């Protein structure tokens, strides 16, 4: 039986409805949450992501601002939409952000709070993956969870969130021995390595829950034919369009997994969703902090 599809678009709509209620409450208190983005350079993926951020703000009734300094700007003059041009020290830039406004959850203070399991602003993609699991009633406590990828913005925070939910967590990466064998032990698999179809279907434990974070554009006909050999409709669309989005998990996994987030439409929509959630949360926390100072 094919896997149950973990629909990120449905969950996005649920969370947006909840956020609209909270934003309206903040409006009644004279507060309008807003998101500012500073975009440097001509990275097409970043341009699309920022455009989608602004559209989400408009949909929710939040303010938004976009600043576009010249691409030759130096580290001393910038805040931040990753990735940044090579001449800029991204770590210095991240550290310059006020942690209270770090709605991406990348600041060392934000990461430190996550490590110590203290309330804070959590990296958006991992937080979205946890929402997919929670809102689909997939049990995490006691599960064997495997995270493929160890990046600071997905793999590491994902592993910590799973650990804080009482899963037994293993992180796999390029140096992992017998990665297929490790993955086969996973009740929950989160793939975030950035390689199209890397995790093979026969690596997956039958019935496992699979969250596919990868979004890889495939334009090579031979690669597309290999990945989509059992999906003639998707292959036909590839031939018409010339490219297709494929996750880090081979599409054939749908026949093995118990539950699977699709690409596109699974983990992807949750990144901006949780960015909006973090923005509203930051506004609420700053309001509470200001009120506490006024009372003291």
Task: Write out the catalytic residue numbers.
Answer: 53, 81, 104
Residue 128, phi then psi, degrees to nearest 5: -65, -40
**198-222 burial: b if 16+ Cβ within 10 Å, else e:** bbebebbbeebbbbbbbbbebeeee
SS3 133: helix
Strand partners, 63: 34
Residue identified by tokens 């030759």 is 72
CB-side neighbour CA atoms (13 Å) of 113? 14
Q: What is the largest CA-CA distance in the chain?
A: 67
- Residue 62: which residues within 8 A CB-CB, separation 6 or more? 23, 32, 33, 34, 35, 276, 279, 280
SS3 167: coil
Q: In 3D, which of 192, 117, 138 has the Cα closest to residue 11?
A: 138
Q: Yes or no: say if 136 and 108 are a contact pair by the CB < 8 Å rule.
A: no
Work out the burial of residue 75: count CB atoms within 10 Å of its CB; fewer than 13 is exposed, 13-18 middle, 19 or more buried: middle
Two tokens, residue 158? 């994902």
Work out the burial of residue 159: count CB atoms within 10 Å of its CB; fewer than 13 is exposed, 13-18 middle, 19 or more buried: buried
């Amino acid at each position: 039986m094919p896997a149950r599809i973990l629909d990120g678009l449905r969950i996005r709509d649920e969370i947006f409805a909840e956020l609209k209620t909270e934003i309206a409450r903040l409006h009644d208190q004279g507060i309008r949450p807003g998101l500012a983005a500073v975009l440097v350079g001509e990275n097409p993926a970043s341009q699309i992501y920022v455009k989608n951020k602004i559209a989400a703000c408009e949909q929710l009734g939040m303010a938004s601002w976009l600043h576009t300094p010249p691409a030759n700007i130096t580290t001393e003059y910038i805040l931040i939409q990753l990735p940044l041009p090579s001449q800029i020290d991204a770590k210095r830039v991240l550290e310059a952000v006020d942690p209270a406004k770090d709605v991406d959850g990348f600041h060392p203070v934000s990461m430190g709070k996550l490590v110590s399991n203290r309330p804070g602003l959590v990296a958006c993609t991992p937080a979205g993956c946890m929402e997919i699991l929670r809102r689909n009633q997939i049990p995490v406590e006691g599960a064997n969870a495997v995270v493929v990828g160890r990046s600071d913005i997905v793999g590491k925070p994902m592993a910590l969130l799973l650990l804080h939910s009482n899963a037994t967590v293993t992180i796999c990466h390029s140096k992992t021995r017998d990665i297929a064998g490790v993955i086969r032990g996973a009740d929950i698999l989160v793939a975030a390595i950035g390689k199209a179809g890397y995790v093979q279907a026969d690596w997956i434990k039958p019935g496992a829950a699979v969250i596919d974070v990868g979004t890889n554009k495939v334009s090579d006909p031979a690669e597309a034919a290999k990945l989509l050999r059992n999906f003639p409709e998707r292959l036909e669309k590839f031939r018409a369009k010339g490219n297709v989005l494929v996750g880090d998990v081979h599409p054939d996994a749908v026949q093995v997994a118990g539950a699977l987030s699709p690409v596109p439409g699974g983990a992807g929509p949750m990144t901006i969703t949780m960015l909006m959630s973090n923005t509203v949360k930051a506004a609420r926390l700053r309001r509470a902090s200001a009120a506490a100072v006024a009372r003291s």
